Chains A and B, each alone.
Chain A
Amino acid sequence: MIAALVLKRLGLGLLTLLVVSLLIFFAVELLPGDLAQAVLGQAATEETVAAMREQLGLDRPAPARYLDWLGGVLTGDLGTSLLSGERVSTAISQRLLNTLFLASYAAIIAVPFAVILGVFVALYRNSIFDRVANVATLVSISSPEFFLGYVLILFLSVKTGAFPAIATLRGDMSLIDLLYRTFLPALTLVLVVTAHMMRMTRAAIINLLASPYIEMARLKGMPPWKVIVKHALPNAWAPIINVIALNLAYLVTGVVLVEVVFVYPGIGQLLVDAVAKRDFPVVQACCLIFAATFILLNLAADIGSILTNPRLRHPK
């Protein structure tokens, strides 16, 4: 039963991915005129446009081009940049690693911090600590990433000189150096994600603590730590996994703005540049990567909650 559920969810995830890839590919077809016209502009002559069309393979029907593109994506070939003529996969690979590094850096700090803090405020709900945390997290969620980013730059970089404002990366840097140089962008992400994650963890735990079996555990004379560890936690994994996955998915979007603020050489920055220059193959590739990460994380959340559900793990 559980395997069937997981398989079904995986299938649904793949289907979603496929539909999204269709969406991303055919969105470009919405261009007024066509791709060649859009790249060359109104001033181009008929001949150059026709030559461009042929070069891009636009004379072939869209479904065939989609299948080519999809096949390429699956084998790691993301096409060619319209502007530089460079292979998109070459342009992306290092930047993708950089972005993953930044996101993991933020996640490694934010996840344990937020979950522990969330459990803590849930246990001491309605205390002054809880109320202060509520206001603080609301403020943090409400602030645009670039506001937090610039505030951090102003105070931690410009005024005190503690950290660099611009994240320049070189291949020969040590890990410590790398962590130091990317601290501010990571911290910005941490602030935003922690606030979300903490609020969601708090809500999940409070919901759980209201269950009759928690009351029963207390009425059985169990000490508070045992109520939490033995009775609440095994049932809390599903909601907590959900919270983490949803927020990591949120990180994916947040990273775009943060990379721009800190001039960080990641895939978000690349996407924004490509959008401004209307370099569609790059835009498509970046969008697909972001969307796929997002979908996979949501998928992980769903599968995680299926796997940790005791009712499903021990069927009748």
Chain B
Amino acid sequence: MSDPVFIALCLGGLAAAVLVTWRMGQMSAMRTLIFCLILAGLLALFLGAPALRFSAIVAGLVAISAAASWVFRAALLMVAPTSMGPALRAAPLTAAFGMLVITIYAIAGIFAPLIAPFGEAEVIAGAFAPADGTMILGADQLGRDMFSRIIFGARNTVGLALLATTLAFLAGAAAGLFAAVRGGWIDQILGRVVDVIMSVPSLVFALLILSILGTNLTIIVIVIAVIYAPRVFRLTRAVAGGVVTMDYIEAARLRGEGDWYLIRREILPNASAPLVAEFGLEFCFVFLLISGLSFLGLGIQPPTADWGSMVRESATMISFGITTPLIPAGAIALLTVAVNFVVDWMLYRSSGLKV
């Protein structure tokens, strides 16, 4: 890395650290500055310049993402409807960062063919060709453009995870709402079935079924929906169970309203906040499971570009100090982190508003 960039990152990281601690009101800016300088000194002294360089890069990246999130939040505030204004303004930078990353991934996924310079299976160079002017991330083991495959991966991996999550969610939430409204033996039976499915670790369950039925995409989606629907069921059942005990539900029942009216008009509006947060969490689980399966070679099959498989295909390169496998793995981590940041904020809001 060239020196001017390095110095800029250093300064940026320092500024970010000072700003963050100062804004939180825990320490004065001066003390933070001194603290950071001492820390940097110690790092350089004991672990040598590479450690210092590394932490400077990390700090700089944090600073850049914080700044980008801040800008993004400001931009969102301008376009968002006024009813969202106060909530959005109070959103922490982590949540803004999450929304920014999700937006970028969504754009990459939707417009993949327009953004990617090459096709997902197009061989354009030698195996593991280094980055150059046309391939900003270099080539993979077959000489395909890494960057293009990452972009297409956003469409394939995320798309598949979304599809499976949606399916799991619809099934789980519908069953959960139904069980909560009906109660009695239907509730009992559904509860038992869910207990059994959840008593098998999800990855092991998926491996068992996929070993038998083979790894085609339809089967992956259905298996994952079956594994995760019980989790959604439990949460929905718990949330709706809380709502069902309310007197307004009793009032509606005594009026003679049917189950469908109860679910649609009385329960869902009061259960939507935790359910939306749960969708985010479920997505993370599903996404990690699909990536894990692909990484084990049992998920999405080549030549379809998929992040988990890409890690697997280039895994051996790590022992030569080449960071290629970290790029798709990082892409997975980044999206899950982003979704988790947003979910964390939503959960905090929905729990905070209750008090």
Contacts and interface: CB of A to CB of B under 8 A. Distances in A.
Contacts, number: 141
A159 B207 contact: no
Contact of A291 (B199, B329, B337): B199
Interface in B191-211: 195-196, 199-205, 207-211
**Interface size range on B against A:** 35 or more
A129 to B, nearest CB: 9
B94 A249 contact: no
A117 B319 CA distance: 33
A239 B193 CA distance: 25
A166 to B, nearest CB: 8
Given A151-B326, A154-B321, A158-B321, A143 B336 contact: yes
Contact of B329 (A141, A150, A165): A150
Contacts of B100: none
A153 B210 CA distance: 30
A142 B207 contact: no
A144 B329 contact: yes
B212 A31 contact: yes
A165 B284 CA distance: 28
Interface string B174-203: 000000000000000000000110011111
A127 B308 CA distance: 37
A252 B318 CA distance: 26
Given A27-B212, A144-B295, A154-B318, A253 B204 contact: yes
Given A24-B208, A144-B295, A257-B295, A16 B201 contact: no
B41 interface: no
Interface stretch (A97-105, A222-230, A268-276): A268-276
Contacts of A143: 332-333, 336-337
Contacts of A157: 319
B311 A146 contact: yes
Interface of A: 16, 19-20, 23-24, 27-28, 30-31, 127-128, 131, 134-135, 138-139, 141-147, 150-151, 153-154, 157-159, 165, 249, 252-253, 256-257, 260-261, 271-272, 274-276, 278, 280, 283-284, 286-287, 290-291, 294-295, 298
Interface of B: 21, 24, 26-27, 94, 195-196, 199-205, 207-213, 284, 288, 291-292, 295-298, 308, 311, 315, 318-321, 323, 325-326, 329-330, 332-333, 336-337, 339-341, 344
13 contacts: A23-B196, A23-B200, A27-B208, A30-B213, A144-B288, A144-B291, A147-B311, A147-B333, A256-B204, A257-B292, A275-B211, A283-B211, A295-B199
Given A30-B213, A290-B201, 13 more contacts: A20-B196, A24-B208, A135-B94, A144-B308, A144-B333, A147-B333, A150-B315, A154-B321, A253-B203, A261-B315, A271-B204, A291-B200, A294-B204
